[in-house]
Structure 1
Amino acid sequence: MSKVSPSMTESLLPMPERSKNVVMGNQSFISVLGRSIAGELYKIRRRAMSKVLSTIAIATIILALLFTNWTSSQPLPDAIYMTLSISNFVGSILFIILAGTIVGGEYSVGTIRLMLTRGPTRLQFLLAKLGAMLICVCITIISLIGIGIITWMLLNLPVGHKIDFSFFTGHWIQHTILFILAIMLSLFTYSMLAVCLSSWGKATAAGVTGVLIWWFLENAISGLLALLGSRLQNAFGNFLATVPDYFIDNNLNALRSNQQNYLMGNSAGAINDLHAGIVIIIYLVVFGGLTWWSLKTRDITN
Protein backbone atom coordinates (compact mmCIF):
# COMPACT_ATOMS: atom_id res chain seq x y z
CA MET A 1 0.00 0.00 0.00
CA SER A 2 1.57 3.26 -1.13
CA LYS A 3 1.73 6.20 1.14
CA VAL A 4 1.22 9.70 -0.26
CA SER A 5 2.26 12.63 1.85
CA PRO A 6 -0.13 15.58 2.26
CA SER A 7 2.37 17.90 0.58
CA MET A 8 2.42 15.68 -2.53
CA THR A 9 -1.37 15.57 -2.60
CA GLU A 10 -1.59 19.34 -2.36
CA SER A 11 0.92 19.74 -5.20
CA LEU A 12 -1.11 17.42 -7.43
CA LEU A 13 -4.40 19.26 -6.84
CA PRO A 14 -5.01 22.17 -9.21
CA MET A 15 -5.21 25.60 -7.64
CA PRO A 16 -8.70 27.12 -7.84
CA GLU A 17 -9.08 30.07 -10.15
CA ARG A 18 -9.30 33.42 -8.44
CA SER A 19 -12.55 35.28 -8.93
CA LYS A 20 -12.41 38.33 -11.16
CA ASN A 21 -14.00 40.32 -8.33
CA VAL A 22 -11.01 39.70 -6.06
CA VAL A 23 -8.28 42.30 -6.57
CA MET A 24 -4.91 41.59 -4.95
CA GLY A 25 -3.28 44.93 -4.25
CA ASN A 26 0.30 45.76 -3.43
CA GLN A 27 1.30 44.12 -0.15
CA SER A 28 3.86 46.74 0.85
CA PHE A 29 3.53 48.38 4.26
CA ILE A 30 2.30 51.72 2.90
CA SER A 31 -0.17 50.15 0.47
CA VAL A 32 -1.73 47.94 3.14
CA LEU A 33 -1.84 50.92 5.52
CA GLY A 34 -3.55 53.08 2.89
CA ARG A 35 -6.22 50.44 2.26
CA SER A 36 -6.69 50.00 6.01
CA ILE A 37 -7.22 53.76 6.46
CA ALA A 38 -9.74 53.71 3.60
CA GLY A 39 -11.54 50.84 5.31
CA GLU A 40 -11.62 52.72 8.62
CA LEU A 41 -13.02 55.82 6.91
CA TYR A 42 -15.70 53.69 5.27
CA LYS A 43 -16.70 52.23 8.64
CA ILE A 44 -16.84 55.69 10.20
CA ARG A 45 -18.98 57.00 7.35
CA ARG A 46 -21.39 54.09 7.68
CA ARG A 47 -21.80 54.49 11.44
CA ALA A 48 -25.00 56.17 12.59
CA MET A 49 -23.04 57.77 15.43
CA SER A 50 -20.79 59.70 13.02
CA LYS A 51 -23.87 61.15 11.30
CA VAL A 52 -25.34 62.18 14.66
CA LEU A 53 -22.09 63.79 15.80
CA SER A 54 -21.74 65.66 12.49
CA THR A 55 -25.30 66.97 12.79
CA ILE A 56 -24.63 68.20 16.33
CA ALA A 57 -21.48 70.05 15.23
CA ILE A 58 -23.19 71.72 12.25
CA ALA A 59 -26.27 72.70 14.27
CA THR A 60 -24.08 74.19 17.02
CA ILE A 61 -22.17 76.38 14.55
CA ILE A 62 -25.34 77.64 12.84
CA LEU A 63 -27.16 78.36 16.11
CA ALA A 64 -24.16 80.19 17.55
CA LEU A 65 -23.92 82.48 14.51
CA LEU A 66 -27.69 83.02 14.52
CA PHE A 67 -27.59 84.05 18.18
CA THR A 68 -24.77 86.54 17.69
CA ASN A 69 -26.47 88.13 14.68
CA TRP A 70 -29.62 88.77 16.73
CA THR A 71 -27.62 91.27 18.79
CA SER A 72 -25.12 92.72 16.31
CA SER A 73 -23.81 92.20 12.81
CA GLN A 74 -20.25 90.93 13.20
CA PRO A 75 -17.57 91.13 10.50
CA LEU A 76 -16.50 88.03 8.61
CA PRO A 77 -13.17 87.51 10.48
CA ASP A 78 -14.99 87.47 13.82
CA ALA A 79 -17.45 84.91 12.46
CA ILE A 80 -14.53 82.72 11.36
CA TYR A 81 -12.88 83.01 14.79
CA MET A 82 -16.13 82.14 16.51
CA THR A 83 -16.63 79.16 14.21
CA LEU A 84 -13.14 77.89 15.00
CA SER A 85 -13.52 78.42 18.76
CA ILE A 86 -16.85 76.58 18.86
CA SER A 87 -15.44 73.83 16.63
CA ASN A 88 -12.58 73.34 19.07
CA PHE A 89 -14.83 73.08 22.13
CA VAL A 90 -17.60 70.96 20.61
CA GLY A 91 -15.22 68.98 18.41
CA SER A 92 -13.10 67.93 21.39
CA ILE A 93 -16.06 66.19 22.98
CA LEU A 94 -17.39 64.72 19.75
CA PHE A 95 -14.03 63.36 18.60
CA ILE A 96 -13.35 61.86 22.01
CA ILE A 97 -16.60 59.93 21.64
CA LEU A 98 -15.81 58.92 18.06
CA ALA A 99 -12.23 57.84 18.82
CA GLY A 100 -13.31 55.84 21.84
CA THR A 101 -16.01 54.14 19.79
CA ILE A 102 -13.90 53.08 16.79
CA VAL A 103 -11.30 51.44 19.06
CA GLY A 104 -13.34 50.23 22.02
CA GLY A 105 -16.01 48.89 19.71
CA GLU A 106 -13.50 46.53 18.09
CA TYR A 107 -12.93 44.87 21.46
CA SER A 108 -16.55 44.82 22.63
CA VAL A 109 -17.79 43.24 19.37
CA GLY A 110 -14.72 41.05 18.95
CA THR A 111 -13.87 42.18 15.42
CA ILE A 112 -10.27 42.94 16.40
CA ARG A 113 -9.57 39.18 16.39
CA LEU A 114 -10.74 38.98 12.78
CA MET A 115 -8.92 42.12 11.67
CA LEU A 116 -5.55 41.02 13.04
CA THR A 117 -5.79 37.66 11.29
CA ARG A 118 -6.57 39.09 7.85
CA GLY A 119 -3.19 40.56 6.93
CA PRO A 120 -2.55 43.97 8.55
CA THR A 121 -0.10 43.97 11.43
CA ARG A 122 -0.90 45.44 14.80
CA LEU A 123 1.14 48.52 13.98
CA GLN A 124 -0.85 49.00 10.77
CA PHE A 125 -4.06 48.50 12.73
CA LEU A 126 -3.07 51.32 15.10
CA LEU A 127 -1.81 53.65 12.39
CA ALA A 128 -4.99 53.09 10.37
CA LYS A 129 -7.12 54.18 13.33
CA LEU A 130 -4.98 57.26 13.95
CA GLY A 131 -4.78 58.12 10.25
CA ALA A 132 -8.55 57.88 9.89
CA MET A 133 -9.03 60.13 12.94
CA LEU A 134 -6.57 62.70 11.58
CA ILE A 135 -8.34 62.80 8.21
CA CYS A 136 -11.73 63.15 9.95
CA VAL A 137 -10.40 66.03 12.05
CA CYS A 138 -9.10 67.89 8.98
CA ILE A 139 -12.28 67.34 6.96
CA THR A 140 -14.50 68.38 9.87
CA ILE A 141 -12.69 71.63 10.63
CA ILE A 142 -12.51 72.69 6.97
CA SER A 143 -16.19 71.81 6.48
CA LEU A 144 -17.30 73.73 9.58
CA ILE A 145 -15.34 76.80 8.45
CA GLY A 146 -17.16 76.66 5.13
CA ILE A 147 -20.52 76.25 6.88
CA GLY A 148 -19.72 79.19 9.16
CA ILE A 149 -18.85 81.44 6.22
CA ILE A 150 -21.97 80.43 4.26
CA THR A 151 -24.16 81.01 7.34
CA TRP A 152 -22.62 84.44 7.88
CA MET A 153 -23.24 85.37 4.22
CA LEU A 154 -26.88 84.24 4.37
CA LEU A 155 -27.44 86.32 7.49
CA ASN A 156 -25.64 89.49 6.41
CA LEU A 157 -25.59 89.84 2.63
CA PRO A 158 -29.40 89.95 2.15
CA VAL A 159 -29.61 92.97 4.51
CA GLY A 160 -26.96 94.89 2.61
CA HIS A 161 -23.93 94.16 4.77
CA LYS A 162 -20.96 94.03 2.39
CA ILE A 163 -17.76 92.08 2.92
CA ASP A 164 -14.74 94.21 3.77
CA PHE A 165 -11.68 92.41 2.40
CA SER A 166 -9.19 94.77 4.05
CA PHE A 167 -8.48 92.07 6.65
CA PHE A 168 -7.35 89.63 3.94
CA THR A 169 -3.58 90.19 4.20
CA GLY A 170 -0.58 87.88 4.23
CA HIS A 171 -0.25 88.31 8.00
CA TRP A 172 -3.90 87.36 8.53
CA ILE A 173 -3.69 84.32 6.24
CA GLN A 174 -0.50 83.05 7.91
CA HIS A 175 -1.76 83.24 11.48
CA THR A 176 -5.26 82.05 10.58
CA ILE A 177 -3.78 78.91 9.01
CA LEU A 178 -1.61 78.39 12.10
CA PHE A 179 -4.70 78.90 14.28
CA ILE A 180 -6.58 76.26 12.27
CA LEU A 181 -3.64 73.84 12.52
CA ALA A 182 -3.47 74.41 16.29
CA ILE A 183 -7.15 73.49 16.60
CA MET A 184 -6.64 70.38 14.46
CA LEU A 185 -3.70 69.38 16.65
CA SER A 186 -5.82 69.89 19.77
CA LEU A 187 -8.62 67.66 18.48
CA PHE A 188 -6.18 64.99 17.30
CA THR A 189 -4.32 64.98 20.64
CA TYR A 190 -7.47 64.26 22.62
CA SER A 191 -8.51 61.71 20.00
CA MET A 192 -5.19 59.90 20.43
CA LEU A 193 -5.63 59.95 24.22
CA ALA A 194 -9.08 58.40 23.76
CA VAL A 195 -7.60 55.75 21.43
CA CYS A 196 -4.92 54.96 24.01
CA LEU A 197 -7.32 54.62 26.94
CA SER A 198 -9.87 52.67 24.87
CA SER A 199 -7.18 50.23 23.80
CA TRP A 200 -5.92 49.75 27.35
CA GLY A 201 -9.42 49.40 28.78
CA LYS A 202 -10.72 47.41 25.79
CA ALA A 203 -13.97 49.38 25.91
CA THR A 204 -15.48 52.59 24.57
CA ALA A 205 -16.37 53.82 28.05
CA ALA A 206 -12.74 53.59 29.15
CA GLY A 207 -11.65 56.00 26.42
CA VAL A 208 -14.50 58.50 26.70
CA THR A 209 -14.75 58.72 30.48
CA GLY A 210 -10.98 58.46 30.88
CA VAL A 211 -10.33 61.55 28.74
CA LEU A 212 -13.09 63.54 30.44
CA ILE A 213 -11.67 62.66 33.86
CA TRP A 214 -8.18 63.60 32.64
CA TRP A 215 -9.57 66.91 31.39
CA PHE A 216 -11.27 67.65 34.71
CA LEU A 217 -8.25 66.66 36.81
CA GLU A 218 -5.87 68.82 34.79
CA ASN A 219 -8.03 71.91 35.31
CA ALA A 220 -8.53 71.18 39.00
CA ILE A 221 -4.86 70.42 39.66
CA SER A 222 -3.75 73.50 37.68
CA GLY A 223 -5.85 75.76 39.88
CA LEU A 224 -4.67 74.03 43.05
CA LEU A 225 -0.97 74.24 42.15
CA ALA A 226 -1.31 77.88 41.14
CA LEU A 227 -2.92 78.64 44.50
CA LEU A 228 -0.23 76.77 46.44
CA GLY A 229 2.53 78.48 44.50
CA SER A 230 1.14 81.94 45.27
CA ARG A 231 0.77 81.08 48.95
CA LEU A 232 4.21 79.53 49.53
CA GLN A 233 6.26 82.33 47.92
CA ASN A 234 9.48 80.27 47.74
CA ALA A 235 11.42 78.06 45.33
CA PHE A 236 9.14 75.08 45.93
CA GLY A 237 6.11 77.28 45.36
CA ASN A 238 7.58 78.51 42.07
CA PHE A 239 8.15 74.88 41.05
CA LEU A 240 4.53 73.98 41.82
CA ALA A 241 3.32 76.99 39.84
CA THR A 242 5.28 75.90 36.74
CA VAL A 243 4.06 72.27 36.77
CA PRO A 244 0.77 73.14 34.94
CA ASP A 245 2.91 74.47 32.05
CA TYR A 246 3.44 70.81 31.12
CA PHE A 247 -0.22 69.79 31.11
CA ILE A 248 -1.93 68.93 27.83
CA ASP A 249 -4.75 71.44 27.95
CA ASN A 250 -2.56 74.38 28.97
CA ASN A 251 -0.11 73.79 26.10
CA LEU A 252 -2.84 73.25 23.51
CA ASN A 253 -4.57 76.38 24.74
CA ALA A 254 -1.26 78.27 24.47
CA LEU A 255 -0.83 77.25 20.82
CA ARG A 256 -4.33 78.49 20.01
CA SER A 257 -4.13 81.64 22.13
CA ASN A 258 -0.78 82.76 20.73
CA GLN A 259 -2.13 82.73 17.17
CA GLN A 260 -5.39 84.33 18.23
CA ASN A 261 -3.44 87.06 20.02
CA TYR A 262 -1.49 87.79 16.84
CA LEU A 263 -4.74 88.13 14.91
CA MET A 264 -6.42 90.36 17.49
CA GLY A 265 -3.35 92.38 18.44
CA ASN A 266 -3.13 91.16 22.03
CA SER A 267 0.01 90.18 23.91
CA ALA A 268 1.30 86.60 23.68
CA GLY A 269 0.66 84.07 26.43
CA ALA A 270 3.03 82.84 29.13
CA ILE A 271 3.85 79.59 27.25
CA ASN A 272 5.61 80.09 23.92
CA ASP A 273 4.89 78.04 20.81
CA LEU A 274 8.19 76.11 20.90
CA HIS A 275 7.64 74.94 24.49
CA ALA A 276 4.01 74.02 23.82
CA GLY A 277 4.83 72.20 20.58
CA ILE A 278 7.58 70.08 22.16
CA VAL A 279 5.36 69.13 25.11
CA ILE A 280 2.48 68.07 22.85
CA ILE A 281 4.80 66.04 20.59
CA ILE A 282 6.11 64.20 23.66
CA TYR A 283 2.55 63.45 24.78
CA LEU A 284 1.66 62.14 21.30
CA VAL A 285 4.73 59.89 21.24
CA VAL A 286 3.95 58.55 24.73
CA PHE A 287 0.28 57.89 23.95
CA GLY A 288 1.13 56.25 20.63
CA GLY A 289 3.90 54.16 22.18
CA LEU A 290 1.75 52.94 25.05
CA THR A 291 -1.06 52.01 22.68
CA TRP A 292 1.27 50.11 20.35
CA TRP A 293 2.89 48.30 23.31
CA SER A 294 -0.49 47.22 24.65
CA LEU A 295 -1.50 45.92 21.21
CA LYS A 296 1.84 44.19 20.66
CA THR A 297 1.88 42.32 23.96
CA ARG A 298 -1.81 41.55 24.31
CA ASP A 299 -3.32 38.14 23.60
CA ILE A 300 -6.35 39.02 21.47
CA THR A 301 -7.85 35.56 21.91
CA ASN A 302 -8.46 36.33 25.60
Structure 2
Amino acid sequence: MALRDQASHKSTDSDNFLLKYRVISGKLKKRLLRKPNVSEASDQFESLAINCEQKELHQYAGWCWLAAARCQESVGNCIYEINFLTKAGRQFLIANKNNKDIGCLSISDEDIQVAINAFNHALTRCENQDGFQMMSSSLAIELALALGSNSEGIKYLCSAIHTHPTVQAINLLVTYYIKQGNYVSALRVLTELVEMIENHLGARTIDNYRNILHKCEISRVLLLLIMRPTPQRLAPSLAQVLEKYAWAEDTRISVPNMTEDEMLLLQSLVLACQSRDYEAILELESELWSFFDVEQKELLHNLIKTFGKE
Protein backbone atom coordinates (compact mmCIF):
# COMPACT_ATOMS: atom_id res chain seq x y z
CA MET A 1 0.00 0.00 0.00
CA ALA A 2 2.83 2.36 0.88
CA LEU A 3 4.54 1.68 -2.45
CA ARG A 4 1.29 2.36 -4.30
CA ASP A 5 0.87 5.67 -2.47
CA GLN A 6 4.47 6.61 -3.24
CA ALA A 7 4.02 5.82 -6.94
CA SER A 8 0.80 7.84 -7.01
CA HIS A 9 2.57 10.78 -5.35
CA LYS A 10 5.39 10.62 -7.89
CA SER A 11 2.88 10.55 -10.74
CA THR A 12 1.10 13.62 -9.36
CA ASP A 13 4.41 15.47 -9.02
CA SER A 14 5.25 14.60 -12.62
CA ASP A 15 1.91 15.90 -13.87
CA ASN A 16 2.34 19.12 -11.90
CA PHE A 17 5.85 19.57 -13.25
CA LEU A 18 4.78 19.14 -16.87
CA LEU A 19 1.95 21.63 -16.43
CA LYS A 20 4.21 24.26 -14.85
CA TYR A 21 6.95 23.66 -17.42
CA ARG A 22 4.51 24.20 -20.30
CA VAL A 23 3.15 27.37 -18.71
CA ILE A 24 6.63 28.88 -18.35
CA SER A 25 7.63 27.78 -21.86
CA GLY A 26 4.47 29.39 -23.22
CA LYS A 27 5.61 32.75 -21.88
CA LEU A 28 8.65 32.59 -24.14
CA LYS A 29 6.61 32.42 -27.33
CA LYS A 30 6.60 35.65 -29.30
CA ARG A 31 3.37 37.58 -29.16
CA LEU A 32 2.19 40.31 -31.49
CA LEU A 33 3.78 43.64 -30.46
CA ARG A 34 5.18 42.08 -27.26
CA LYS A 35 8.62 40.62 -26.55
CA PRO A 36 8.77 37.66 -24.16
CA ASN A 37 10.10 38.33 -20.67
CA VAL A 38 13.11 36.00 -20.78
CA SER A 39 14.47 37.00 -17.36
CA GLU A 40 11.16 36.22 -15.68
CA ALA A 41 10.96 32.84 -17.43
CA SER A 42 14.52 32.04 -16.38
CA ASP A 43 13.71 32.83 -12.74
CA GLN A 44 10.64 30.60 -12.91
CA PHE A 45 12.55 27.71 -14.50
CA GLU A 46 15.17 28.10 -11.75
CA SER A 47 12.50 28.03 -9.04
CA LEU A 48 10.88 24.95 -10.60
CA ALA A 49 14.29 23.24 -10.83
CA ILE A 50 14.95 23.80 -7.12
CA ASN A 51 11.48 22.48 -6.30
CA CYS A 52 12.13 19.34 -8.36
CA GLU A 53 15.48 18.81 -6.62
CA GLN A 54 13.78 18.98 -3.24
CA LYS A 55 11.31 16.31 -4.39
CA GLU A 56 14.18 14.22 -5.82
CA LEU A 57 12.84 14.55 -9.35
CA HIS A 58 16.38 14.93 -10.63
CA GLN A 59 15.71 14.39 -14.32
CA TYR A 60 12.98 17.03 -14.31
CA ALA A 61 15.27 19.39 -12.39
CA GLY A 62 17.88 18.87 -15.08
CA TRP A 63 15.47 19.84 -17.85
CA CYS A 64 14.51 22.99 -15.93
CA TRP A 65 18.14 24.01 -15.49
CA LEU A 66 18.70 23.46 -19.22
CA ALA A 67 15.70 25.67 -20.00
CA ALA A 68 17.03 28.36 -17.65
CA ALA A 69 20.45 28.10 -19.35
CA ARG A 70 18.85 28.66 -22.76
CA CYS A 71 17.15 31.77 -21.39
CA GLN A 72 20.48 33.12 -20.17
CA GLU A 73 22.11 32.28 -23.51
CA SER A 74 19.46 34.31 -25.34
CA VAL A 75 20.29 37.42 -23.29
CA GLY A 76 24.05 36.86 -23.52
CA ASN A 77 24.64 36.14 -19.83
CA CYS A 78 27.45 33.60 -20.18
CA ILE A 79 28.29 33.19 -16.49
CA TYR A 80 24.73 32.27 -15.51
CA GLU A 81 24.45 30.05 -18.58
CA ILE A 82 27.56 28.08 -17.54
CA ASN A 83 26.25 27.84 -13.97
CA PHE A 84 22.85 26.51 -15.06
CA LEU A 85 24.35 24.09 -17.60
CA THR A 86 26.56 22.68 -14.84
CA LYS A 87 23.61 22.31 -12.48
CA ALA A 88 21.67 20.54 -15.24
CA GLY A 89 24.54 18.13 -15.86
CA ARG A 90 24.82 17.33 -12.16
CA GLN A 91 21.11 16.54 -11.87
CA PHE A 92 21.24 14.16 -14.83
CA LEU A 93 24.30 12.48 -13.29
CA ILE A 94 22.37 11.99 -10.04
CA ALA A 95 19.38 10.61 -11.98
CA ASN A 96 21.67 8.18 -13.81
CA LYS A 97 23.31 7.02 -10.55
CA ASN A 98 19.93 6.53 -8.86
CA ASN A 99 18.69 4.44 -11.77
CA LYS A 100 21.81 2.28 -11.64
CA ASP A 101 21.48 1.85 -7.88
CA ILE A 102 18.00 0.36 -8.27
CA GLY A 103 18.95 -1.69 -11.33
CA CYS A 104 16.89 0.40 -13.74
CA LEU A 105 19.31 0.67 -16.65
CA SER A 106 18.43 2.56 -19.81
CA ILE A 107 19.49 0.97 -23.09
CA SER A 108 20.36 4.38 -24.53
CA ASP A 109 21.86 5.77 -21.29
CA GLU A 110 19.80 8.91 -21.90
CA ASP A 111 20.59 10.62 -18.58
CA ILE A 112 24.36 10.19 -18.87
CA GLN A 113 24.33 11.38 -22.48
CA VAL A 114 22.33 14.51 -21.61
CA ALA A 115 24.70 15.13 -18.67
CA ILE A 116 27.73 14.88 -20.97
CA ASN A 117 26.09 17.23 -23.47
CA ALA A 118 25.35 19.77 -20.72
CA PHE A 119 28.93 19.67 -19.44
CA ASN A 120 30.29 19.87 -22.99
CA HIS A 121 28.16 22.95 -23.66
CA ALA A 122 29.45 24.53 -20.43
CA LEU A 123 33.05 23.67 -21.39
CA THR A 124 32.58 25.26 -24.81
CA ARG A 125 31.27 28.43 -23.19
CA CYS A 126 34.29 28.47 -20.84
CA GLU A 127 36.68 28.17 -23.78
CA ASN A 128 35.14 31.28 -25.33
CA GLN A 129 35.75 33.36 -22.19
CA ASP A 130 39.02 34.85 -21.00
CA GLY A 131 40.16 33.69 -17.56
CA PHE A 132 37.87 30.64 -17.42
CA GLN A 133 40.62 28.01 -17.76
CA MET A 134 40.46 26.96 -14.10
CA MET A 135 36.68 26.59 -14.22
CA SER A 136 36.90 24.62 -17.46
CA SER A 137 39.47 22.27 -15.94
CA SER A 138 37.37 21.84 -12.79
CA LEU A 139 34.26 20.94 -14.82
CA ALA A 140 36.19 18.42 -16.92
CA ILE A 141 37.55 16.76 -13.75
CA GLU A 142 34.06 16.63 -12.23
CA LEU A 143 32.69 14.90 -15.31
CA ALA A 144 35.67 12.53 -15.46
CA LEU A 145 35.06 11.52 -11.84
CA ALA A 146 31.43 10.75 -12.66
CA LEU A 147 32.30 8.76 -15.79
CA GLY A 148 35.00 6.68 -14.09
CA SER A 149 38.11 4.97 -15.45
CA ASN A 150 36.90 4.40 -19.01
CA SER A 151 37.97 6.01 -22.27
CA GLU A 152 35.48 8.87 -21.81
CA GLY A 153 36.69 9.64 -18.30
CA ILE A 154 40.31 9.62 -19.46
CA LYS A 155 39.45 11.91 -22.37
CA TYR A 156 38.03 14.57 -20.07
CA LEU A 157 40.96 14.27 -17.65
CA CYS A 158 43.41 14.83 -20.50
CA SER A 159 41.36 17.86 -21.53
CA ALA A 160 41.46 19.22 -17.96
CA ILE A 161 45.24 18.77 -17.77
CA HIS A 162 45.74 20.43 -21.15
CA THR A 163 43.62 23.42 -20.10
CA HIS A 164 44.92 23.88 -16.54
CA PRO A 165 47.30 21.18 -15.26
CA THR A 166 46.86 20.29 -11.59
CA VAL A 167 48.35 17.54 -9.45
CA GLN A 168 44.82 16.34 -8.63
CA ALA A 169 43.97 15.79 -12.30
CA ILE A 170 47.33 14.18 -13.10
CA ASN A 171 47.12 11.78 -10.15
CA LEU A 172 43.57 10.84 -11.11
CA LEU A 173 44.69 10.18 -14.69
CA VAL A 174 47.42 7.87 -13.38
CA THR A 175 44.83 6.05 -11.24
CA TYR A 176 42.52 5.59 -14.24
CA TYR A 177 45.35 4.22 -16.39
CA ILE A 178 46.35 1.79 -13.62
CA LYS A 179 42.74 0.60 -13.25
CA GLN A 180 42.68 -0.06 -16.99
CA GLY A 181 45.96 -1.98 -16.77
CA ASN A 182 47.60 0.60 -19.03
CA TYR A 183 50.86 0.71 -17.10
CA VAL A 184 52.81 2.27 -19.97
CA SER A 185 50.62 5.38 -19.97
CA ALA A 186 50.55 5.52 -16.16
CA LEU A 187 54.36 5.47 -16.05
CA ARG A 188 54.58 8.12 -18.77
CA VAL A 189 52.26 10.51 -16.91
CA LEU A 190 54.09 9.99 -13.60
CA THR A 191 57.42 10.69 -15.28
CA GLU A 192 56.06 13.85 -16.89
CA LEU A 193 54.82 15.00 -13.46
CA VAL A 194 58.21 14.38 -11.84
CA GLU A 195 60.03 16.20 -14.64
CA MET A 196 57.60 19.11 -14.46
CA ILE A 197 58.21 19.51 -10.72
CA GLU A 198 61.99 19.06 -10.89
CA ASN A 199 62.67 21.11 -14.03
CA HIS A 200 60.18 23.96 -13.81
CA LEU A 201 59.92 24.71 -10.09
CA GLY A 202 62.49 26.41 -7.90
CA ALA A 203 64.20 24.60 -5.02
CA ARG A 204 62.03 26.37 -2.47
CA THR A 205 58.84 25.43 -4.32
CA ILE A 206 59.91 21.79 -4.71
CA ASP A 207 59.81 21.42 -0.92
CA ASN A 208 56.02 21.80 -1.16
CA TYR A 209 55.89 18.78 -3.49
CA ARG A 210 58.03 16.35 -1.47
CA ASN A 211 55.09 14.05 -0.68
CA ILE A 212 54.10 13.96 -4.35
CA LEU A 213 57.64 13.15 -5.49
CA HIS A 214 57.82 10.42 -2.84
CA LYS A 215 54.58 8.85 -4.07
CA CYS A 216 55.70 9.10 -7.70
CA GLU A 217 59.01 7.40 -6.88
CA ILE A 218 57.38 4.34 -5.30
CA SER A 219 54.72 4.03 -8.00
CA ARG A 220 57.28 4.29 -10.80
CA VAL A 221 59.47 1.61 -9.21
CA LEU A 222 56.48 -0.75 -8.91
CA LEU A 223 55.33 -0.06 -12.49
CA LEU A 224 58.81 -0.70 -13.86
CA LEU A 225 59.08 -3.96 -11.91
CA ILE A 226 55.71 -5.11 -13.27
CA MET A 227 56.49 -4.14 -16.87
CA ARG A 228 60.13 -5.34 -16.86
CA PRO A 229 61.14 -3.42 -19.99
CA THR A 230 64.40 -4.40 -21.68
CA PRO A 231 67.32 -1.98 -21.19
CA GLN A 232 67.15 -1.09 -24.89
CA ARG A 233 63.54 0.10 -24.56
CA LEU A 234 64.07 1.98 -21.30
CA ALA A 235 64.62 5.73 -21.32
CA PRO A 236 67.79 6.80 -19.44
CA SER A 237 65.78 8.70 -16.83
CA LEU A 238 63.71 5.58 -16.07
CA ALA A 239 66.77 3.34 -16.03
CA GLN A 240 68.17 5.58 -13.29
CA VAL A 241 65.02 5.07 -11.22
CA LEU A 242 65.75 1.34 -10.89
CA GLU A 243 69.54 1.60 -10.87
CA LYS A 244 69.55 3.55 -7.62
CA TYR A 245 67.99 0.51 -5.87
CA ALA A 246 70.05 -2.14 -7.65
CA TRP A 247 73.03 -2.07 -5.29
CA ALA A 248 72.45 -3.42 -1.80
CA GLU A 249 75.46 -1.60 -0.35
CA ASP A 250 74.32 1.82 -1.62
CA THR A 251 72.37 3.52 1.17
CA ARG A 252 72.86 7.09 -0.03
CA ILE A 253 69.73 7.25 -2.15
CA SER A 254 68.15 10.68 -2.05
CA VAL A 255 64.36 10.50 -2.38
CA PRO A 256 62.09 13.11 -0.75
CA ASN A 257 60.46 11.90 2.48
CA MET A 258 61.79 8.34 2.14
CA THR A 259 62.95 6.72 5.36
CA GLU A 260 65.99 4.45 5.52
CA ASP A 261 63.80 1.41 6.31
CA GLU A 262 61.59 2.10 3.32
CA MET A 263 64.59 2.58 1.05
CA LEU A 264 66.17 -0.71 2.21
CA LEU A 265 62.91 -2.58 1.64
CA LEU A 266 62.58 -1.15 -1.88
CA GLN A 267 66.18 -2.15 -2.58
CA SER A 268 65.36 -5.67 -1.41
CA LEU A 269 62.27 -5.76 -3.62
CA VAL A 270 64.17 -4.65 -6.72
CA LEU A 271 66.94 -7.20 -6.08
CA ALA A 272 64.38 -9.97 -5.44
CA CYS A 273 62.61 -9.17 -8.71
CA GLN A 274 65.86 -9.04 -10.66
CA SER A 275 66.83 -12.47 -9.29
CA ARG A 276 63.26 -13.77 -9.80
CA ASP A 277 63.09 -14.80 -6.12
CA TYR A 278 59.34 -15.26 -5.70
CA GLU A 279 59.53 -16.34 -2.05
CA ALA A 280 61.54 -13.24 -1.14
CA ILE A 281 59.00 -11.02 -2.90
CA LEU A 282 56.19 -12.66 -0.90
CA GLU A 283 58.04 -12.08 2.37
CA LEU A 284 58.60 -8.41 1.52
CA GLU A 285 54.91 -7.79 0.84
CA SER A 286 53.88 -7.57 4.50
CA GLU A 287 56.89 -5.40 5.40
CA LEU A 288 56.22 -2.93 2.59
CA TRP A 289 52.47 -2.79 3.27
CA SER A 290 52.62 0.00 5.87
CA PHE A 291 54.61 2.26 3.54
CA PHE A 292 52.22 2.03 0.57
CA ASP A 293 48.91 3.70 -0.20
CA VAL A 294 45.92 1.73 -1.55
CA GLU A 295 46.94 2.11 -5.18
CA GLN A 296 50.52 1.05 -4.52
CA LYS A 297 49.33 -1.98 -2.55
CA GLU A 298 47.29 -3.00 -5.59
CA LEU A 299 50.36 -2.57 -7.80
CA LEU A 300 52.42 -4.69 -5.39
CA HIS A 301 49.71 -7.36 -5.47
CA ASN A 302 49.78 -7.34 -9.29
CA LEU A 303 53.57 -7.57 -9.21
CA ILE A 304 53.39 -10.67 -7.03
CA LYS A 305 50.78 -12.21 -9.35
CA THR A 306 53.06 -11.54 -12.33
CA PHE A 307 55.97 -13.42 -10.76
CA GLY A 308 53.65 -16.13 -9.42
CA LYS A 309 52.66 -17.11 -12.97
CA GLU A 310 56.24 -17.97 -13.91
Which has the bigger relative contact order, CA under 8 A and spacing at least 6?
A: 1
Q: The TM-score by the shorter chain falls in which range? A: under 0.3
Greater C-alpha Rg: 2
TM-score, normalising length: structure 2: 0.26
